[in-house]
Structure 1
Amino acid sequence: MLTRIAFRINSALERYFPEQRLFLKSDHGTHFIRLRPLTQTFVVTVGALGLAWTIVATALIMMQTIGAGSAREQSQRQSQMFEQRLALLSSDRDLRAQEAVQAQERFNFALDQVSAMQEMLLASEDRRRELETGIDVVQNTLRSVIRERDEARAEIERLGLVMSEQGSGGATEMGRIRDTELTLGYLTSALGRTAEERDAKEAIAEATRAELIAAEQDRRTEKLRNDAIFAKLEEAVEVSIGPLDKMFRDAGLNPSDLIATVRRGYSGSGGPLSPISASTMGGALTPEEARANAILKAMEEMDLYRIAAFMAPFDSPIKAGGIRMTSGFGTRNDPFGAGRRRHEGQDYAGPYGTPILSTADGVVTFAGWQSGYGRLVKIQHAFGIETRYAHMSQIRVQVGQKVSRGDRIGDMGNSGRSTGTHLHYEVRIGGTAVNPMNFIRAARNVF
């Protein structure tokens, strides 16, 4: 049975693999080996399988080698990207630190000026009080001299009466004359001394009055100079706060609510902007001290405005050249022919791979593919504001990552529902889309 089956198989395969004989010649004779079609088929099949296995194994080894090389290159690129990002973060940190130091120096300089003005005002007040005290002493002395003069005149009159009475009692005319001369000499010398003392007191009073007038003039001059300094400080604060306040209002935000939110987040006390307290004598604040406190409060508010400005998206997502704005916020014709549709962002057209930047400090809440948007990044900012960056060619951030204004978060592309390379940029407040150009236009004259 097996012989017949083998014969049929050999007959069927003989047309492809004819029977072969392998002759072996030796000293004892010539021998041959018969290679039947089935045997040849088996050898060929085994050889083909071996060759196929060798090709597959070689391909796998080559693919692993190429894959390992690509992984190394990708790891090196990521390492270089991380190093560049660390360098950028380091430079940004140094810049922020330098800005903080400069702001601290400006605040310290303003405080030094306010303290110097306060010391000069206190010294002027002390001099004025001393002069008033000196004038009171001089006036009291003058009153005492006048009183003594009046008493001397009364005494002269009394002595004159006594002498008259004594003369009527029988004194000689020569004795009365001599007594009168002695009395007049005594009175004359006493009146001369009194007049000299009076003149000296009047000279002292006149000098004191001149000093008081000069001190009062100095005080008025000092007050005018302090008013000028205060006016310049108030004008500088107003010039700094005014554009920021207008920027928030033009963007549709309430500055009071933003400042209150920032103050709750930065509610620490102390530091260089502590208000000027009342004097140690328990008196109320002087007008100058109250004015200085108002300036310090305005400077603190200006710092809060600056912090709030960095926490809101008052910037453009693209800073590279060769960019043009295409479709704006509002209703438009759908580019795919779906009729009139609402467009909830601003489109920027430019070269493929153009860097896309974060418009404010925030945290990445989404980084991936979303239907319609393509490659999309969402960043959550303060005050309930969210920004979206769509149709990217590459995403360079991860969910949960903190970003600062100006950080590169991706590259411009054409992914998702898009007709060409561009960036679709959205700003949402409380989940509702608003016109991003309100923020960008509002910040053009500030940053």
Structure 2
Amino acid sequence: MTDLAQPAVPPPASPARALLPLVLPALVIGVGSALLLIGVSEAADLLKDVLWETLPDAVGVGPWSAGWIMTILTVTGIAVGLVVWKVHGHAGPDPATTGLVDAPMAPGVVPGLLLATVLALAGGVSLGPENPITAANIALAYWLGRRLSPGSPAQMWVALGAAGTVGALFGTPVAAVLILTESMVSAPRGGASAEGERAPTLWDQLFAPLIAAGAGGVTAVWIEAPTFRLNLPPLDSPSWPDLLAALVVASAGAVLAMVAVYAFPYVHRIYHLLPHPVLAITLGGVVLGLLGVLGGRLTLFKGLEEVGELTADPTAHSAGALVLMAVVKLAAILVACGSGFRGGRIFPSLFAGVALGLAVHSLVPEVQPAVAVTCAVLGVLLAVTRQGWVSLFTAAILAPDPGLLPLLCVALLPAWLLVTGRPQMQLNDAGTPLR
């Protein structure tokens, strides 16, 4: 006869003793992550002022003339190429093979990576600071953590560095928690650490990262007060036509961005046929200059400040001009990342989504601008990042009205069906897209 009696299960142990020692390291890493982000951004802004204001004034040329745009982006390509070639660590791995949260790199690589990032941000390259700053903070947090506590799990320090950076980027810990939740779901689940102990719950695992993200977010808000809310008219009594528009626009944004995603490995392959990184990145700078001349000054740089200018007067540009900006921005992301510039894709993709959404509203005025813009951003980010929570969160914080959130949640579903399981805008070491 089978004995159905089960052994007594001990009551779950309180995690407080394990979690409390993490509070101080999490606070330090969160604040440090924010300070590094702010420091790099400030350095890039100072150099940007020199390149795009002081120098053109000194030589008597227009800063947004075709010749100056071509010159600065070409010189930026040469400078970044030299850093990748000569500086220790070669400014980190090929940016086409990296995501937002990756395994920690050696700390000796960080100075070169940050230098290449500052040059790209200042020179007008269409990439954001998010990927390289997150990689740098993860490397430093991992290096520090493994020395202070050699037996601690490596993944904990990776999570703290990533959370502190993302919290500072968005000025809130929510985005960091969403990113880490997605990572934890896709990672193998760990069991109990010892007999009689329970496996850590989701909130046990998020406790320290949430502190780091909160510390990073608060530090950024105190120093810089970042804001993503756009100057859009509030949503006027959502109705069934708004829901239909949300579904169509989000899917259209995903389709447009997927064209860029499918082109990405080919662009990367073309640039890497060149025998030297200086040649590849310099050619990338030349092409970025041509795209900047074609799309205009708003299509340069990471895109956050330019998004505010674009939405300040949505009627200042025709639908055709807005579509051109969206296409040029996506093409610039392909060229910048494919040729070897260091930077992230979230912020410039946000600009492409905003331009596309304003174009939709211009073509079909019945589609409310808040619906068009946020849903276009949602679709573009889903295709480019393949991270549902981050895409939804980013679109939601742009919204002028919380009433848009239900529409965004529904609009995400068909857009996700269009992108899931398809190639990503990230390659493996062999140059094949991840899926």
> Under a length normalisation based on structure 1, what TM-score does the superposition of the two structures give?
0.22
Specify the structure having the higher radius of gyration (Cα).
Answer: 1
Higher RCO (C-alpha 8 Å, min separation 6): 2
> Under a length normalisation based on structure 2, what TM-score does the superposition of the two structures give?
0.22
Normalized per residue, which structure has more helix? Answer: 2
